[in-house]
């Protein structure tokens, strides 16, 4: 069998696997999400059974619904007198004049004694006017005279809603619930939209990789667009990680961009009337009804852009990082100008976020001279797609770190002209504007050999580091002030002066390092001694900042939710290092596996509120593909020779330490684990860590595995999304 036949046979087998996976998931969605109902209580008082005097005439229940709205059916509490009954039961909804509005029927064998049963109207939902009277007629055709069905009802008439037609002639009110929402077969029908996109991503990836022999960038763009589009559709509105908070912040900044005042006098977020019912301060609704509501309004237009409403529970600060929120702000402003619905606005913002992520990551993939499989696989991880296809400030952080690493590797691979150095400085500044914990990654620029930078390489590297540091201070100054809240002002300015002096000395030492190789040993010894002394002095000073709360203060500081109002500060951490170490070890011991799954995206959603995703088989598959992506070829030069390997590892672990420290500052003192650490915070660190891990030469490859690795990453990401669809629909 020649290669062409083998290739198409493999493609046919892949198509069968994809179709089988889609069919299996569709069946699960149909079983778990179709036919769900929500209901409103009309009467919940019942203590006796009312049998109809004549089954053919049945019972008539008069009722009204104060709230009003669409009704899909009714739920009644049936009594079958401790037996299985046969026949057909009917219900008919009538207006006050007796005109038929809708009806339903069921096989009486489906009725269970003393159990509510829902009957869905065949005509679809009926709009009931608030407070208006309606009648519900219930009758049946028994198979035998012994097949009797009654309704549970109250002893007396409740709220003027009598039940007529009972055999005893005593009026009461039936136990009645109105089905206010019904999923029907919507979820299983809607499944085929993302299902078709996932099939196209996997099979299209196979065709591009093995038939067209396409490069990494076009395959990444096609697969990323399809997988990301699916992610934007299956994560319910405001149900992404902290999406409700990011949406509110972007909404406020969009109002400012459009010349509208974002807040009212009470500090509440002002919004359009069509947005107010959905903007909340908590994670959005999940499940079949969330999808149904989104689909019903997604493409509607013509909504007024005036900010005439507020939501009492949405209070946000508009001080979010302007750069990280820029794609969301621009798309929200455009959506509001076009009159899109809330769901249309949210989806447009998600799509622009996704487009920016794919563009920056594809650029990084194109620019990097090495480890292209690594960039491809990391860029298509489900967690990266989730932060890109939802409203999240983490999207730009993940994309910028990949772009920064790619440019550093490019500069390390060839001579850098002035334009290349300016790009390096600009990217360092952008990295500095990202989340505070990733600042150490700016130190990756030291991986660039000095010879590649031409004249004054130390000064050029220092310029990149300075750009990152200055922008970092400008963007994160407020949080840094909170972190150092125990520090005296004089100490702060002394520290700034010492940092500037150390930077100046560092530049001079770097020049000496390049000009006098013989002095390098002394430079290392003196520098190490001075650095150790500086750390000791800093520890002695910082450990005396602030004061520990007394036991009485700790008791008085417990809030109604059980949390202490006292959190960890720098001074408290340094005075209680054993306790902090124990807390850190306990946190990672209990949650390390979850952090790994979250970082990869095998566990999606908002982990504090809900989590969905794949099992450990898929998780280990993602780990295996990433390992194959960095697996070195035999007899190839190292990507990170010498000290560069340990430097990369050190910077990445420093970011992890900063993440722990930042989360400690949010952690109440009475917590047994560090609050707020989530696996997605480690997503930007995967690429440098994996790049360093790829330096291990215990196992090497003898041939190019690129096509298989890339297709495997597409397939595993699609598998995670399929599992997420199944679980999200069932919530």
pLDDT at 537 over 70: no
Cα 723 to Cα 624: distance, rounded to the nearest angstrom: 19
Q: How many CA atoms lie within 13 A of 22 on its CB side?
A: 21
pLDDT surpasses 80 at 499: no
- The superfamily in CATH containing domain 41-182 is PHR domain (2.60.120.820)
Q: Does residue 509 carry a pLDDT above 70?
A: no
At 168 the pLDDT is 84
Q: CA 323, CA 427: separation in Å to the nearest integer? A: 13
Across 143-267, where does the E strand assignment appear?
150-153, 163-164, 176-182
Report the pLDDT averaged over residues 684-692. Answer: 93
**Pairing relationship of beta strands 87-95 and 133-142 according to DSSP bridges:** antiparallel
Give the number of other Cβ atoms within 10 Å of residue 116's Cβ: 15
Residue 576 pLDDT grade (very low, low, confident, very high; cuts 50, 70, 90): confident
Q: Give the CA distances from residue 222 to residues 201, 715, 721, in Å, rounded to whole numbers and listed in that order.
A: 7, 13, 16
Q: Please state the rounded mean pLDDT for residues 379-387.
A: 95
* pLDDT at residue 242, rounded to an integer: 87
pLDDT band, residue 201 (cuts 50/70/90): very high
Contacts of 53 (CB under 8 A, 6+ apart): 165, 166, 167, 169
Domain boundaries, the chain: 41-182
When pLDDT is averaged across residues 156-168 and rounded to a whole number, the result is 90
Among 15-19, 265-269, 537-541, 634-638, the range with the most confident prediction by mean pLDDT is 15-19
**DSSP letter string over 459-493?**
HHHHHHHHHHHHHHHHHHHHHHHHHTTTS-HHHHH
Residue 266 has pLDDT above 60, yes or no: yes
Dihedral angle, C-alpha 471, 473, 475, 478, nearest 10 °? -170
Distance CA 712, CA 88 (A): 54
Band (pLDDT 50/70/90 cuts) for residue 492 is low
Q: Is 264 exposed, middle or buried (0-12, 13-18, 19+ CB in 10 A)?
A: exposed
- Residue 653, both tokens: 């672990």
Residue 617 has pLDDT above 70, yes or no: yes
Residue 147, C-beta contacts closer than 8 angstroms, at least 6 positions apart = 85, 86, 87, 108
C-alpha distances out from residue 705 to 527, 538, 699, 709, Å:
45, 50, 14, 6
Under 8 Å between Cβ of 92 and 136: yes
Strands 176-182 and 612-613: unpaired
Whole-number pLDDT of residue 532: 74
Which of 78-87, 115-124, 278-287 comes out lowest in average pLDDT?
278-287
Provide the 8-state DSSP code for 208.
I
- Report how far residue 58's alpha carbon sits from residue 139's, in angstroms, rounded to the nearest whole number: 4
Q: What is the pLDDT of the chain when averaged over all its residues? A: 87
Q: Where are the alpha helices (DSSP H) in 631-680?
A: 643-664
* Per-residue pLDDT, 504: 67
Q: What is the pTM of this model?
A: 0.89
Structural tokens at position 488: 């005296």
User: Is 489 a residue whose pLDDT tops 80?
Assistant: no
Range of weakest confidence among 28-42, 185-199, 429-443, 465-479: 465-479
Please say whether the beta carbons of 542 and 572 come within 8 A.
Answer: no
Least confident of 183-187, 208-212, 264-268, 565-569: 565-569
| Contact between 594 and 706 (Cβ < 8 Å) | no
Instruction: Give the residue from 50, 128, 144, 143 showing the smallest Cα distance to 96.
Output: 128
Rounded to an integer, the average pLDDT of 421-436 is 90
Structure-token pair, residue 104: 């339903």
d(CA 78, CA 62): 17
pLDDT of residue 666: 82
pLDDT band per the 50, 70, 90 thresholds, residue 80: very high
Nearest alpha carbon to residue 189 among 18, 34, 38, 16: 34
The per-residue pLDDT for 522 is 66
Q: At what angle do helices 342-367 and 243-257 cross, to 10 degrees?
A: 100
Q: Looking at per-residue confidence, does 547 or 290 come out higher?
A: 290
What residues contact 572, with CB distance under 8 A and at least 6 apart? 486, 546, 548, 669
| pLDDT on residue 699 | 81
- On the question of pLDDT at 521 being above 80, the answer is no
């Amino acid at each position: 069998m020649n290669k062409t036949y083998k290739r198409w046979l493999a493609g046919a087998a892949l198509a069968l696997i994809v179709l089988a996976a889609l069919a299996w998931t569709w069946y699960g969605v149909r079983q778990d999400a179709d036919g769900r109902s929500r209901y409103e209580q009309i009467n919940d008082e019942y203590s006796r059974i009312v049998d109809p005097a004549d089954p053919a005439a049945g019972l008539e229940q008069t009722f009204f619904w104060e709230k009003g709205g669409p009704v899909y059916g009714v739920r009644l509490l049936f009594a079958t007198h401790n037996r299985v009954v046969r026949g057909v039961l009917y219900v008919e909804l009538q207006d006050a004049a007796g005109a038929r509005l809708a009806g339903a029927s069921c096989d009486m064998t489906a009725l269970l004694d003393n159990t509510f049963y829902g009957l869905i109207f065949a005509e679809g939902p009926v709009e009931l006017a608030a407070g208006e009277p309606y009648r519900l007629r219930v009758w049946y055709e028994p198979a035998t005279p012994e097949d009797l069905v009654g309704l549970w009802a109250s002893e007396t008439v409740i709220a003027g809603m009598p039940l007529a037609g009972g055999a005893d002639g005593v009026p009461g009110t039936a136990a009645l619930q109105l089905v206010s929402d019904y999923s029907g077969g919507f979820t299983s029908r809607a499944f085929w939209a993302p299902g078709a996109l996932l099939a196209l991503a996997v099979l299209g990836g196979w065709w591009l990789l093995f038939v067209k022999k396409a490069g990494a960038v076009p395959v990444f763009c096609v697969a990323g667009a399809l997988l990301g589009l699916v992610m934007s559709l299956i994560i319910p509105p405001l149900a992404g990680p902290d999406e409700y908070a990011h949406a509110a912040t972007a909404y406020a900044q969009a109002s400012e961009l459009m010349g509208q005042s974002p807040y009212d006098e009470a500090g509440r977020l002002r919004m359009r009337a069509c947005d107010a019912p959905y903007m909340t301060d908590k994670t959005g609704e999940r499940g079949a009804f969330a999808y149904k509501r989104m689909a019903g309004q997604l493409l509607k237009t013509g909504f007024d852009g005036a900010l005439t409403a507020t939501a009492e529970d949405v209070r946000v600060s508009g001080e979010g990082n302007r750069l990280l929120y820029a794609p969301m702000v621009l798309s929200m402003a455009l959506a509001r100008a076009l009159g899109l619905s809330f769901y249309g606005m949210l989806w447009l913002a998600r799509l622009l976020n996704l487009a920016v992520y794919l563009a920056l990551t594809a650029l990084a993939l194109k620019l990097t001279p090495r480890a292209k499989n690594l960039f491809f696989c990391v860029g298509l991880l489900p967690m990266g797609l989730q932060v890109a296809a939802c409203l999240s400030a983490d999207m730009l952080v993940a994309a910028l770190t990949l772009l920064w690493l790619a440019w550093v590797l490019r500069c390390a691979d060839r001579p850098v002209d002035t334009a290349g150095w300016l790009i390096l400085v600009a990217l360092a500044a952008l990295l500095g504007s990202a989340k505070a914990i990733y600042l150490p990654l700016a130190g990756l620029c030291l991986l660039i050999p000095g010879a590649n930078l031409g004249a004054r390489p130390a000064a050029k590297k220092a310029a990149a580091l300075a750009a990152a540091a200055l922008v970092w201070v400008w963007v994160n100054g407020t949080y840094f002030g909170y972190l150092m809240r125990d520090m005296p002002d004089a100490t702060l300015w002394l520290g700034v002066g010492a940092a500037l002096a150390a930077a100046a000395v560092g530049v001079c030492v770097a020049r000496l390092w390049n000009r006098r190789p013989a002095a390098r040993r002394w430079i290392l010894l003196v520098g190490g001694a001075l650095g150790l002394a500086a750390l000791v002095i800093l520890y002695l000073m910082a450990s005396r900042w602030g004061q520990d709360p007394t036991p009485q203060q700790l008791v008085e500081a417990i809030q109604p939710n059980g949390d202490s109002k006292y959190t960890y500060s720098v001074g408290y951490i340094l005075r209680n290092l054993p306790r902090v170490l124990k807390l850190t070890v306990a946190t990672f011991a209990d949650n390390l596996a979850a952090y790994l799954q979250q970082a990869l995206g095998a566990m999606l959603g908002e982990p504090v509120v809900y989590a969905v995703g794949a099992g450990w088989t898929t998780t280990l598959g993602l780990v295996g593909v990433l390992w194959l992506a960095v697996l070195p070829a035999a007899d190839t030069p190292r990507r990170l020779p010498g000290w560069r390997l340990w430097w990369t590892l050190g910077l990445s672990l420093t970011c992890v330490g900063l993440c722990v420290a930042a989360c400690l500052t949010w952690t109440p003192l009475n917590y047994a684990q560090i609050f707020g650490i989530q696996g997605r915070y480690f997503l930007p660190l995967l690429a440098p860590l994996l790049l360093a891990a790829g330096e291990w030469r215990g196992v090497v490859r003898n041939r190019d595995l690129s096509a298989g690795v890339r297709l495997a990453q597409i397939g595993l990401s699609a598998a995670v999304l399929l599992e997420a669809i199944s679980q999200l629909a069932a919530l």
